[in-house]
Chain A
């Protein structure tokens, strides 16, 4: 009995130490584990211009401009602050106004973000098109607002 108890203590203590070590390591690496910065992060602590980084947020409604030669300009917002972005290349299928986006590139001195890669970010909402249309028609929810559908509509 005592040997079993001792082994249990060793395993429990080992897991506890391991968990503490992992928690400390993860908090120490916090910033490096972020896949992208939000526009607010960029405004509060601006990284040095020219450094490669990723920003993420929602493509602001009405901000998308195409110049007809393959370049696009849009603003990325987190509803607190916004960052203007320019990009030249192919956009993913899910890219649209009001949709989540992650862009990799560099910030210029002027505060413009020059993206080299643009990824669409999908949210956690899944529903049939008819339901989305119905919600939109009823005026309960606009998909372009970048917010999720009202809770309870999932049923």
Chain B
């Protein structure tokens, strides 16, 4: 740190945080990965073998153990995307932009999984693959928001500008989150209201609740693991690009 020019030191300062993040991420990654494998194994065994069939849905209830955590993650990842976008816009934190861009495809995948498994459950239970009720439609809009963010944030030559444009879109989409959450309470929908988030006793038997919660833990850790991998590769790629530029300048 002997440089005296302000431009160089500002650059180093920008690099310092991603470096610290990489060291921190490398340290927690094996723990996250191991716990995720354990939780996923326990959750799947609990969901597919140990938990009982439902008194009305029979074996179809097992779709719920994937559908509900996926839907939770769809909202949670979007919330993270929005928070990262806000801190990119307000504090111009470079890591936040990387985190937002790395989160979007994971969230889109969770949203797609929730929509697809919900559809598979809907056909035998409701009698239809799809209806345009408030819950299903607002989750479909969430899926399009993810896709729109991914397209917009990658559409610029200058990646910093792309991330900032995407961040504005991500923040606009935040209004959709409470709509998704409360759609089943505000309007008549075909989709049933929440079973677990109800304060006090959940409307779901404990023998079915624990595999659901373990699956939710596994899905959350899966998000952390993939986020670390994606952020690490993006940061290393950015470092490579910077080194390339330096080599060209130094010649």
Interface positions of A (Cβ within 8 A of B): 4, 7-8, 11, 14-15, 18-19, 22, 26, 30, 33-38, 56, 90-95, 99, 102, 117-133, 143, 148-149, 151-152, 154-155
Residues of B within 8 A of A7 (CB): 89-90
In the complex, which residue of chain A has the Cβ closest to the Cβ of B85? A11
Q: Can you give 21 A-B contacts (C-beta < 8 A)? A: A15-B174, A34-B188, A35-B134, A35-B190, A36-B188, A37-B188, A93-B124, A94-B57, A119-B127, A121-B126, A122-B126, A124-B203, A126-B54, A127-B204, A127-B205, A127-B208, A129-B55, A131-B205, A151-B201, A154-B201, A154-B203
CA distance A153 to B134 in the complex (A): 30
Residues of A within 8 A of B54 (CB): 126-129
- A94-B126 in contact (CB<8A): yes
Residues of A within 8 A of B126 (CB): 92, 94, 119-122
In the complex, which residue of chain B has the Cβ closest to the Cβ of A99? B56
- A56-B125 in contact (CB<8A): no
Q: Which of B189, B203, B207 has the most CB of A within 10 A?
A: B203
CA distance A126 to B206 in the complex (A): 10
Flag whether B187 is at the interface (Cβ < 8 A). yes
CA distance A4 to B192 in the complex (A): 43
18 further A-B contacts with Cβ under 8 Å, apart from A91-B127, A128-B55, are: A4-B90, A14-B171, A33-B186, A34-B187, A35-B190, A37-B188, A38-B188, A92-B126, A93-B124, A93-B125, A102-B190, A117-B128, A122-B126, A123-B192, A126-B64, A128-B52, A129-B53, A151-B201
Flag whether B195 is at the interface (Cβ < 8 A). yes
CA distance A28 to B195 in the complex (A): 29
Flag whether B217 is at the interface (Cβ < 8 A). no
Residues of B within 8 A of A121 (CB): 126, 190, 192
Residues of B within 8 A of A126 (CB): 54, 57, 61, 64, 195, 203-205, 208
- A122-B179 in contact (CB<8A): no
In whole Å, how far is B200's beta carbon from the nearest beta carbon of chain A?
A: 7
- A151-B200 in contact (CB<8A): yes
- A128-B127 in contact (CB<8A): no
Residues of B within 8 A of A122 (CB): 56-57, 125-126, 192
